Structure 1
Amino acid sequence: MIFSLFSRSHWHACLQKQTERQFDIDSLPPAYSAPLSSLEEKIHALSLSQLVSDCKAGVIAPSEVMLTYGKKTLIAQKLANCITDIMFDEALQIPSVVNWPHAIDPESSLARDRPLLGVPVSIKDTIDIAGHDSTIGYSRNVFHPAPTSSAIVRLLQDAGALVHVKTTAPTGLLGMETVSDIFGRTSNPYNNAYTSGASTGGGAALLACGGSKIEIGSDLGGSVRIPAHFCGVWSLKGSAGRFPSWGGVSSVQGLEGVPLVTAPMAGSLADLEEFWKRVVEAKPWEYDHTCLPIPWKSVDLQEEGRKLKWGVMLEDGVVPPSPACRRALRVVTAALRKQGHEVVDFSPPDVWSGLKIGYQLVFSDGGEQIRSLLSPSETLPKASASILSLLSLPRFIKRILAYFSRNSDPLTADALQIMHPKSVKDVRALNAQKEAYQAAWHEKWTESGLDFILSVPHPFPAFKHGESEKVNLMTAGFTFLFSMLDYTAGVLPVTFVDKEIDGLPDGFLASREYASMNAVAKGAYSVYDVEGMHGLPLGVQVVGRRMEEERVMEAMKVVEACLKREGTVFIGHVKA
């Protein structure tokens, strides 16, 4: 009886939140439902720097920008179900915007300069905005608005940005697809039968539809990079302390073993770079005590003329990349070689050994934080649910299963043995192992003389809704690894899945190669459907060392320049 009451409370909260969202949409002025005018099409085509320049010059009003992007946001919502809160009017009422084109506080140089004036910025559900919920997909967090805004939101609003919507995230965040009982399922704008990724899946879908200029997401194991890869947008995860991250919620609050960072995504590399630069130049350390006072230092690797050395990481020790993702990586390496860069295969310290350390740190509580926030009858995404099931299994049963699978599937045996709650002493030992592993990476990178590392962001393109039990969290090794190392890592789109050339070899599922795969890889490959995935975006990941945000951004520009010389230019084609 009591469970039934709590269950009804959960679904009632979900219904109320959905009703509130729809009411806010329905209450918007009719102008937001009209097609874009020719002027609005021109506004939408402006780069971030052009948009700021025209708003400062009085050529374009922030209200015109808001109307333009508001229209695109509503189209994106219909197409992908990607937003949680609408703040169109609120975005225009902040002090740095309301008296456009004049700053109201002449004492504030930031207010006077307003380096992001008129730039529409969407915010992931997890990041606090005063007066709005940060639910992280849990119904218990509905109608509990944040009392204050996060550091990045305060900086953005002082800088004149139009913080106009919050975007969807999966329940508990640690998933491979964006779905919750509160807001439903977010779709990939390129194919609504496929996922947009997670956990910044709503923001990636919105950007792909042109509903925002910048999305502010968070990244623990690839939460901005995998959605960027799935949806054909750009992202850059910095090292901990470089981008303001204070003031949000998480299902792993207090986790220190693997950094959880706030990170931006954009609809172009130029916008991504310009945004990063302007945020750092706005002195985010004055807003966020966790942010390091490191000024932006311009780097021009192309002007230097020197050829770079790129290490290609082909495997993560868990899931071999699919033919489509391998091809995207080959397109990039071939273009770099053609322009005289040195591209070599890189054999890093054992990746699976590192991933094991990271997984144990993230789930050292046995998944209790994620589980404790659930309401009765509330569901988790399949990837999270499967991990919690593994953690909940009695250890003696896991030992037995590990014993019998050790010879045929060592990786599965390892996972069975390590995934259980840890003591404080265990966590300290794991942190020591992590530091030793980071030292091994540093040594290997240095002796290899690499400038950057290239890899796939994920072994697969976006997959169908509901398949994240097979494409589970352990398939995210290529991104999670660099979070654990705290390296700077960016993702840029390259091409699209092509059913004519990206298929598996005939008889692959009956081949020795498939038979030799571990259970995680076999499960993931069972959903690789090149016919259905045809036309989905494919990206690559560019990795630098810690605190190398400027250099990685430049490396991404080098990649794009080389691709362009070979006739490969990524152009998104979402019909929104």
Structure 2
Amino acid sequence: MVLWTDLAVDKRRRQLDAIPRAWLISPPSGILDVTAVPESCGLLSDEEITITRSSVDILLSKLARGVWSSVQVTTAFYKRAVVAHQLVNCLTEIFVERALAHAAKLDEHLKRTGQVVGPLHGLPISLKDQLCIEGLETTMGYVSWIGKYADKNAVLVDVLIECGAVPFVRTNVPQTLMWPETFNNVFGRTLNPYRTSHTSGGSSGCEGALLALRGSPLGVGSDVGGSVRIPAAFCGLFALRPSYGRIPYCGAVNSLEGQDSILSVFGPMTASISGLKAFVRAVVHAKPWLKDPLAIRKKWDEEEYMLVEHGNGNGLCFAIMWDDGVVVPHPPVTRALRKVKDVLEKAGHKVIDWTPFKHNELGNLTRDIWNAASAEDYKVTTASTGEPVIPTMELDVTGPATIAPFRPARPGISAYQLWQAQKTKRDIRKEYLDRWDRTSSVTDTGRPVDAIIGPAAPYAAVPHGKNRYTNYTTVWNALDYVSSIFPVTAVNPALDSKKGPHIFISDFDREIYEQYDPEVFKGLPVCLQLTGRTLEEEAVIAMTEIVDMALAKHAKNDAKL
């Protein structure tokens, strides 16, 4: 019998062989912030640097007009992605010739017809290692899945190709997916490019790291409890967690398949906010419900994007959730919330406080639902090779491993108990809906709060193995509310000194408080989360754009001073 360790070694060897020799660099040693390396390593030309710095809307415009060819753009991002991989270990499947051949066909079509293939014509897109591509392996962080070649594309891959996109790399994930950090027995650990001693999040942590290094203009992650939003927040990106079924999932691999009370969803991640709209609009315009029986039949709603039901975007009322009643955020996160409140009020919007409702209960219910059979799921998946199930993401554990609460630490609940948990979650969704509606009495707009703004996590990216709290994102999965992530600032020790102890909600709250050291978190991105209601993707994107514009205007005014 082949040892699982030998299988992993062979897979990594084959991955290295897929990289063109000319694209190998000598990664610098002794520096924590590697974000400048792709542009200083000498591999990319000046034009390739310009291409990879460009926003999604500019890329699509120049691709459609033939100013830049798809081969040119894909090559630039491929080179930068490979550099990123050598710095932070973010890729799984590398298929250069195949991607460039597809890009060349798109260029030929544009030259011959004068027409783009679709709304994402020529745009390279990175994909989390769940999205099967015909003929490529899909390990999803399991040694036991090495050699598992897809016989067809996942539906979303077909949709993206139909839209003219160029899938060009796949990105690493944690074993089982159910971690907010990225590490597995096949490819190892992924690092945060802003501080390599810290995590890039999970389970879409490698999309986050890749996009932060501008190794891709637009990536697709998945999210069942924060797996798109946590990496985006830790890596300074924009991202969107859609509602169940808005983006097709059929044909992708997953953990906990059959658990359909809290569904995993695919969502876009990008360094440029224009990528959110471009992705969602293109995918839903392709009518994915004709290809995926669980996809929601809802076309792109331009009126919703124009915020017709939200005062046409004028005089919006946002609610700020300062904490979730369980864990108080670190000072940089609180400063970001105050900053957003200030810029929105200056832009003519109203901001009120949001009192969280049953967030701790929703988090516990979610974990009960996940854990009902997750331990067995992992055991069955790893049984064929004897690969161990990773018990912790911590580094250099000398004592008993600290098992994070979102991984099973006790026997799963019975089927009847699972039903009760699902019923309670259903009932809380109704209670939350009613509480949201009742805010119309305090907004002064005649309608309920337009969106809630709050932390994506109680901290910026933490050191490896220390990301142990996901409720700030998970509650919105349980409620199936649409949420976005947007960057606000970075940790600045001069502005974010450690405050005196507050009245601790719990011992865990004290533990999170004691974790903060301004110098340890210095320079890391600080992002926030904007949440709308179920299937409000268009409105949430539009409101995120409004917040981003207010922040940009504030930054511009500050620069003049």
Category of TM-score, reference length = shorter chain: 0.7 to 0.9
- Matched with 2:32 is none
Q: Which amino acid aligns with 2:437?
A: T
Q: 2:493 aligns with which of 492, 499, 502?
A: 499
Q: Deviations over 1:152-193 (max 9, x none)?
A: 111112222111100011111111211112111101111111
Q: Distance in 2 between the 1:529 and 1:276 partners?
A: 38
Q: Does residue 22 of structure 1 match 2:13?
A: no
**Unpaired runs of 5+ in structure 1?**
394-419, 572-576
- Matched with 2:67 is 59
Q: Which amino acid aligns with 2:10?
A: Q
Q: 1:373 aligns with which of 369, 373, 381?
A: 381
Contact 2:249 2:292 in 1 (8 A): yes
- Matched with 1:484 is 478
Q: Deviations over 1:424-481 (max 9, x none)?
A: 22222221111110000000000012110011000011011233xxx32xx1101000
Contact 1:228 1:235 in 2 (8 A): yes
Q: 2:337 aligns with which of 322, 329, 341?
A: 329
Contact 2:247 2:266 in 1 (8 A): yes
Structure 1 residue 317: deviation in Å?
3.0
Q: 2:547 aligns with which of 531, 554, 559?
A: 559
Pairs within 5 Å for 1:301-450: 301=307, 304=312, 306-365=314-373, 367-374=375-382, 375-376=385-386, 378-380=388-390, 382=392, 386-387=403-404, 391-393=408-410, 420-448=411-439, 449-450=448-449
Q: Distance in 2 between the 1:163 and 1:284 partners?
A: 18
Q: Deviations over 1:206-233 (max 9, x none)?
A: 0011111111110000001000000001
Q: Distance in 2 between the 1:565 and 1:144 partners?
A: 50
Q: Does residue 537 of structure 1 match 2:525?
A: yes
Q: Larger deviation: 519-528 or 429-438?
A: 519-528
Q: Distance in 2 between the 1:295 and 1:28 partners?
A: 45
Q: Distance in 2 between the 1:476 and 1:232 partners?
A: 17
Contact 2:127 2:170 in 1 (8 A): yes
Percent identity over the alignment is 30
Change beyond 3 A, Cα 1:263–1:307: same
Change beyond 3 A, Cα 1:246–1:520: farther
Structure 1 residue 34: deviation in Å?
5.6
Q: 1:213 aligns with which of 217, 227, 231?
A: 217
After TM superposition, the score normalised by the length of structure 2 is 0.87
- Matched with 1:410 is none
- Matched with 1:267 is 271
Q: Distance in 2 between the 1:122 and 1:188 partners?
A: 18
Q: Distance in 1 between the 2:222 and 2:366 partners?
A: 17
Q: Distance in 1 between the 2:557 and 2:457 partners?
A: 21
Q: 1:80 aligns with which of 78, 88, 92?
A: 88
- Matched with 2:33 is none
SS, match of residue 211 in structure 1: coil
Contact 1:348 1:444 in 2 (8 A): no
Q: Larger deviation: 27-36 or 537-546?
A: 27-36
Q: Deviations over 1:491-549 (max 9, x none)?
A: 0011000112223225x4xxx73xx4434334433432220110000001000000100
- Matched with 1:416 is none
**Unpaired runs of 5+ in structure 2?**
26-37, 394-400, 440-447
Contact 1:230 1:537 in 2 (8 A): yes
Structure 1: 4+ residue segments shifted above 6 A: 28-33, 103-106, 568-571
Q: Which amino acid aligns with 1:565?
A: K
Q: Does residue 37 of structure 1 match 2:45?
A: yes
SS, match of residue 49 in structure 1: helix
Q: Which amino acid aligns with 1:532?
A: V
Q: Distance in 1 between the 2:105 and 2:12 partners?
A: 30
- Matched with 2:443 is none
Q: Which amino acid aligns with 1:98?
A: K
Q: 2:306 aligns with which of 300, 305, 308?
A: 300
Structure 1 residue 385: deviation in Å?
7.1
Structure 1 residue 316: deviation in Å?
2.1
SS, match of residue 109 in structure 2: coil
Change beyond 3 A, Cα 1:523–1:148: farther
Q: Deviations over 1:329-359 (max 9, x none)?
A: 1111111112221111112322112222211
Structure 1 residue 42: deviation in Å?
3.1
- Matched with 1:175 is 179
Structure 1 residue 37: deviation in Å?
2.0
Q: Distance in 2 between the 1:235 and 1:359 partners?
A: 24
- Matched with 2:30 is none
Q: Distance in 2 between the 1:84 and 1:209 partners?
A: 16
Change beyond 3 A, Cα 1:103–1:268: closer
Change beyond 3 A, Cα 1:71–1:319: same
Q: Distance in 1 between the 2:155 and 2:71 partners?
A: 24
Contact 1:175 1:382 in 2 (8 A): no
Q: Deviations over 1:300-351 (max 9, x none)?
A: 3499362111112222232211111111111111111122211111123221
- Matched with 2:397 is none
Q: Which amino acid aligns with 2:126?
A: S
- Matched with 2:464 is 465
Q: CA RMSD in A?
A: 2.8
Q: 2:5 aligns with which of 11, 23, 26?
A: 11
Change beyond 3 A, Cα 1:98–1:555: same
Q: Does residue 285 of structure 1 match 2:292?
A: no
- Matched with 1:201 is 205
SS, match of residue 99 in structure 2: helix
Change beyond 3 A, Cα 1:305–1:519: closer
Q: Aligned residue pairs: how many?
A: 524
Q: Distance in 2 between the 1:278 and 1:224 partners?
A: 19
Q: Distance in 2 between the 1:205 and 1:429 partners?
A: 39
Structure 1 residue 390: deviation in Å?
8.0
- Matched with 1:407 is none
